[in-house]
């Protein structure tokens, strides 16, 4: 047995059954060990970045470890974007990278790169295994680090001679490791939070990705907490669906392109309960003007996220799931009877801020927002009542429209995107990974023409593996989000935003995909219904849409959340003050 066999047995012991990757000389010993074992499925991507994003989508869809494997030098470095993306969004991703033999390290050998030091800033741990005797310990540390505290990526660099060196196989048993996380001293406990809720007149719950990472019980507990006290709920982009967006307490998403009512509720609340959001700049707007009247409680598993952006009065540095469960089980819950009409005045105020997401009617060309709105109607039609959906959005205008115009309900309609990093080209490979991980879900990739051209080659992997992924290309022939900023903030000087696209439906048909062209309003609904029903491999819908659309509402850079552009024709702004 060789070091590579020992590595593979470790992966098997830890429950890994799928690896995404691209081969090369330095990683050949591990590839051979995978072939000999036959217990882990190897999915060939078409680029290393594509493989990394497939592993990311797989991890987010299943809750399991996502594994990407590359060769040395350029192979490993092509996956750096995926590592930073996983670090930004808290995804458990393990990168296994081939490396030249230790005997030639430092000699500028062919395809040598200092991968460990290059990737340290974008991983939770990056290390080289220099001896076969260290394989077990490094694998234990790697998987533990991926899942401990806030989830994230780990890279293990694998010199070819170490993977080829003789060794013994590890035991088939894998010991459970004790998890030791570093926490700050909390400033508040669940009893105190309960008292704040009882005393508040205008409370709001903000739910972020930390609740999703805590599991389905945490999501259910947050919904129970909101219902119990009649507290409105808003979410971050990465938290969409934690509270059912068709439910009576949903304010939908807040932030730069969030709903007017969510932003106004944040700006006027007197208690803000933040579960699992790191107060990203896209949700805060002007920091010094964020939630100016609120007592803020921040619950987050990552100590680095507390008081990093927003200075809070109270925090609990622990897993959201544990805190929510303790809140519901607290003895003090029995001391106060909560009226079903609690906060009725607050809800009436919020209702006055209701401004549904909309789009101009009657334009000759299809609107991207119109397309996604129609998709949402079909998802919730009786025909698809029992279907579970996962929307995987790329980055840009369509990403915000997918967040705005689809009603998410975690478990029934789930959302996945590159949130913190905003990596274009993410959605196609991530949707393939998600569909491989959850083959019973209807996985819909929504992307713009820009992100699609970056990664559509990965559809060859979907064709090869008959992956039922559905790719909806919002094709407006522009980098539309950048175009909008150039028009609004740079006096309309457009540069580098026009896309001269090929007929995507013809290109993808040549790759082996089922394809369709949608360019008329009359064919939109029937085409999308066919699109959702298709099975037997990937399907690509090339939807020709208006290049003059805008992404609204919008909080301009440097503005507070209540200062929003809401009308794309009039450039009208709405502002509001606190009801008190």
Active site residues: 48, 110-111, 160, 481
Structure tokens at 354: 């209701």
In 269-358, alpha helices (H): 281-284, 320-329, 344-352
Determine how β-strand 564-565 pairs with β-strand 554-555: antiparallel
Q: Are 396 and 452 in contact (CB under 8 A)?
A: no
Q: Residue 152, Cβ neighbours under 10 Å: how many? A: 23
- Cα(66)–Cα(140) distance, integer angstroms: 15
Degrees, nearest 5: CA angle 314-320-325: 105
- Cα(423)–Cα(406) distance, integer angstroms: 21
Q: Are 83 and 439 in contact (CB under 8 A)?
A: no
Q: Are 3 and 27 in contact (CB under 8 A)?
A: no
Cis check: omega of the bond before 445, within 30 degrees of 0: no
Q: Is 509 left (phi over 0), alpha (psi -120 to 50) or beta?
A: alpha
Q: Residue 378, Cβ neighbours under 10 Å: how many? A: 15
73, exposed or middle or buried, with CB in 10 Å at 0-12, 13-18, 19+? buried
* Structure letter (DSSP) for residue 43: E
Q: Residue 26, Cβ neighbours under 10 Å: how many? A: 27
- Tell me the three state secondary structure of residue 129: coil
**Which of 325, 321, 340, 350 has the alpha carbon at shortest distance from 227?**
340
Stretch (H or E) spanning 204: strand 203-207
Q: Across the chain, how many H-helices and E-strands are there?
A: 23, 21
The answer to whether the Cα torsion of 136, 138, 142, 145 is positive or negative is: positive
Determine how β-strand 93-99 pairs with β-strand 125-128: unpaired
- Cα(373)–Cα(269) distance, integer angstroms: 30
Which residues neighbour 267 within 8 Å (Cβ) at sequence distance 6 or greater? 289, 290, 291, 292, 293, 560, 561, 562, 576, 578
């Amino acid at each position: 047995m060789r070091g590579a066999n020992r590595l593979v047995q470790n992966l098997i012991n830890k429950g890994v059954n799928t690896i995404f990757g691209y081969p090369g000389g330095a990683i050949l010993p591990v590839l051979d060990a995978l072939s000999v074992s036959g217990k882990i499925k190897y999915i060939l991507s078409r680029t290393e970045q594509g493989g990394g994003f497939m592993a990311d989508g797989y991890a987010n869809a299943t809750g399991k470890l996502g594994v990407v494997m590359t060769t040395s030098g350029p192979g490993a470095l092509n996956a750096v974007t995926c590592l930073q993306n996983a670090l930004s969004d808290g995804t458990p991703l393990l990168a296994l990278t081939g490396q030249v033999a230790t005997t030639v390290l430092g000699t500028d050998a062919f395809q040598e790169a200092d991968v460990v030091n290059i990737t340290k800033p974008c991983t939770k741990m990056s290390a080289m295994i220099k001896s076969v005797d260290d394989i077990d310990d490094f694998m234990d540390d790697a998987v533990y680090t991926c899942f401990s505290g806030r989830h994230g990526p780990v890279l293990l660099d694998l010199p070819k001679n170490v993977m080829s060196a003789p060794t013994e196989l590890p035991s088939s048993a894998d010991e459970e490791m004790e998890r030791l996380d570093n926490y700050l001293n909390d400033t508040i406990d669940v009893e105190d939070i309960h008292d704040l809720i009882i005393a508040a007149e205008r409370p709001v719950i903000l739910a972020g990705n930390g609740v999703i990472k805590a599991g389905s019980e945490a999501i259910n507990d947050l919904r129970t907490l909101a219902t119990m006290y009649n507290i409105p709920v808003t979410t971050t982009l990465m938290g969409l669906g934690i509270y059912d967006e068709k439910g009576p307490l949903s304010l939908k998403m807040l932030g730069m392109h969030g709903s007017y009512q969510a932003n106004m509720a944040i700006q006027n609340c007197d208690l803000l309960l933040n579960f699992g959001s790191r107060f990203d700049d896209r949700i805060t707007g002007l920091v010094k003007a964020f939630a100016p009247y609120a007592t803020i409680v921040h619950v987050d598993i990552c100590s680095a996220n507390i008081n990093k952006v927003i200075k809070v009065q109270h925090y609990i540095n622990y897993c959201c799931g544990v805190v929510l469960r303790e809140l519901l089980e607290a003895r003090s819950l029995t001391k106060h009877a909560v009226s079903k009409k609690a906060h009725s005045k607050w809800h009436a105020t919020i209702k006055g801020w209701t401004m549904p997401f909309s789009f101009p009617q009657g334009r000759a060309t299809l609107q991207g927002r119109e397309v996604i709105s129609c998709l949402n109607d079909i998802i919730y039609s009786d025909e698809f009542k029992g279907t579970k959906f996962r929307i995987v959005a790329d980055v840009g205008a369509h990403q915000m429209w997918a967040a705005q115009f689809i009603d998410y309900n975690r478990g029934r309609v789930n959302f996945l995107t590159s949130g913190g990093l905003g990596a274009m080209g993410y959605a196609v490979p991530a949707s393939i990974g998600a569909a491989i991980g959850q083959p019973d879900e209807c996985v819909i990739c929504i992307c713009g023409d820009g992100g699609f051209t970056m990664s559509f080659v990965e559809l060859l992997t979907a064709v090869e593996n008959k992956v039922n992924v559905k790719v909806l290309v919002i094709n407006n022939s522009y980098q539309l989000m950048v175009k909008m900023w150039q028009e609004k903030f740079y006096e309309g000087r457009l540069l580098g935003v026009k896309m001269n696209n090929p007929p995507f439906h013809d290109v993808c048909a040549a790759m082996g995909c089922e394809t369709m062209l949608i360019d008329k309003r009359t064919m939109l609904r029937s085409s999308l219904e066919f699109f959702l029903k298709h099975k037997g491999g990937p399907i690509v819908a090339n939807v020709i849409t208006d290049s003059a659309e805008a992404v609204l509402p919008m909080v301009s850079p440097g503005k507070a959340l209540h200062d929003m552009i809401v009308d794309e024709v009039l450039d009208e702004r709405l502002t509001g003050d606190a009801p008190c």
